Structure 1
Amino acid sequence: MGKYALLLTTILSASGAFTQLNLTEAHQGETSERRAHQLDLLAREAALSGYAEALYLIETEPLASLSSRSGTLAAGRYHTTFDVTLGAPTEVYVRVEGAAEAGGDATQYVIEAQFHDLDGVEVPTHPDTLLARVPPYLRYAALSDGPLRLTLMPRILGATHQVNASVHTNDDLDLALSLGAILGLQAVRGFGTYAGDLYSVPLLSDPENAFRPASNPDLLDTLRPSDVVEMPEIDVDSLARFATDTRPGGLELLGTMALGTRESPEIIHVEGDLVLADVQFDGYGVFLVDGALIVDATLRGVLNDLLGRPESRVAFYVDGPILFNGLGDVQGQFVSNESITFSGAATLYGNVAAGGSVNFLVAPTIRFLPPSPALTTHLPDAVPVYDLERVAMREWEVK
């Protein structure tokens, strides 16, 4: 009996050891599988973080400036690349590689997506489409945060018959010396709205007769009080980091100046006053001006430049005042943190917006041309230039 008992004890002991060995190996297997699963989740989380960043950049940054970038999370990392085709149509291809490592093991997760411009064309042509893609304060022929004054015989018209050349002020609208308002002559081919008071002298006609929109399907009053349209301050110093060219001190422009393309406009930072004399611009560009802007003469070639162009091609964002002294043609979208004053008989193909007053003196003319969304990318309340739609997406794990 003792011999058999000893044999049984030995067998049971061996069996227990074998069982324990199997349990240990099973536990180790489960731990390895669990770690691999956790790495998969961490790698995908890293890839999703990179993809979320890519979506934000596509919506907020110029597509031409998108470049590869990397990021690190607490338990993973990602690397994102962009492939951008600008034109008709515009397409963006995004690839994000997420990775996670632990205990000598590593997992990679990939997300790819393709975006397509819904318009299918480089430049939208309908004014309403263009205006919907710029900040609200740039959707008027003239907008002021301070008083807006029409004196003598200014005319504010549309560059085409498709668009209303409306004006708005967050302060008082002064028509007291406007011959158009006094005599009932057309002064504005659009609406006139104001958040302050209206000053007028209705001697021979209701001043509302001076405001005649190109389109008024809802039969709204053409001259009426309205809510404030927020006019933010333009931080020229902050925008200067996007400059492709910096000009120390003041700058006076003469002759022909080559700019960039719609997809990649030239951005020029002027560290002082800017004076525009007889100059012709070739291409798309933005001027960031620390001081004042003075328009002293004609911008040559404006009418030729505008043929077939539904939008402005030059923008001026100015910290100081803007003064139009010339008698000729000017083209562009002009924004000032202070006042804008027309003191001559210039014709502006574009629009103006001021943090201070806007003053139309003597007989200037605005022919409202919608601002280019491509030149408002970095402004407050900017709207994405391209209406992109995701047309394809896939994701997978790489061991």
Structure 2
Amino acid sequence: MMALFITCVLPVYADELEEHQRQLQDVSRKINQNEQLLKQKKQEEQSIMGQIRTIEQNIANTEKELNSLSERIAILKDSIAKVEEEIAEAEKELAKKNDLLSERLEYIYKQGEVSYLEVLLSATDIKDFLTRYDMLNMIVEQDIELIESINREKNDLKMRKSDLEVKRKELEQIQSNQESAKKLLDSQKEQKQKILADVSKERKAYEAAIAELEKASAQLEAMIRQLQSGGTAVGTGVLTWPTPGFKTITSPYGMRWHPILQERRMHTGVDIGAPMSASIVAADSGTVIFAGWMSANGNTTVIDHGGGISTVYAHQSKFLVKKGDVVVKGQEIGKVGSTGWSTGPHLHFEVRVNGNHTNPMSYIK
């Protein structure tokens, strides 16, 4: 693309220049479309980084949840193990009491109520009778307590088993949640890597475009040198202000934060704030060596003033001169616009010495 830019720039007065100029404008417009797309990508970068920050926060939250679930699982497993031990111990104790109760019931069945009566009637006196009676009551009460104890332990065992079942179901649910959280975490990490890869890819394309623009600037210098070699400019060497009535410099010459590229870049001219369609005049007398579309500069006019000095007028909305025209100092040559890489109507004004950019304010009186 940039090689075509060079081959399209021929001496000012060559017969083929018109056709090559048309080709240059077509290619430049295509370059500008790509630059606009890169501009949009750059603006989207903050949103993308915001997405990454959100994903990273989600990852942190998910990892925190996983840690919490792991702790809960460990606690539940420990609790389940203890309950299982308690149930096993309770079942052993219950089995012993059941065996004892079975023995008592078997004895009572075999002896019957007569046995108790015989014990009482075999007393030697009243005192012995009462003693035997108390002992028999004790035995009966112990039997009743044994039965009640067995029933209590059966109910308690039932509750413990029910609680154990609840804990096991809770454990299954938490383990399921943990598995889901792990899958979510993997998905979030994969999403983050994809976004980072996309950003990296777009960044490389963006950097390639910037390199192309830098080449375009170098070729502009070469074009000016080449076209100046065949011109008949008659400049005074003293420049006038290019936008009569509008002298506010919105961005000076030198390093600055680029409003489109969102990074520090060399600003090769000055930006003069002016309304749409305000007049642009020739800063000095000379010959128009370029009037057309120039990539990021949009509609641009270049005037050769002789002595290696030329001026550049970018982002115009309308041309009032064409290549080859001889203009006089102060003559209207175009209208202020916002074409190319521009955030609003203004004139980007440059002074070039032998094709190299320099501070325009050093030449304006």
TM score, norm. by length of structure 2: 0.26
Structure with the largest fraction of strand: 1
Which structure's CA Rg is the greater one?
Answer: 2
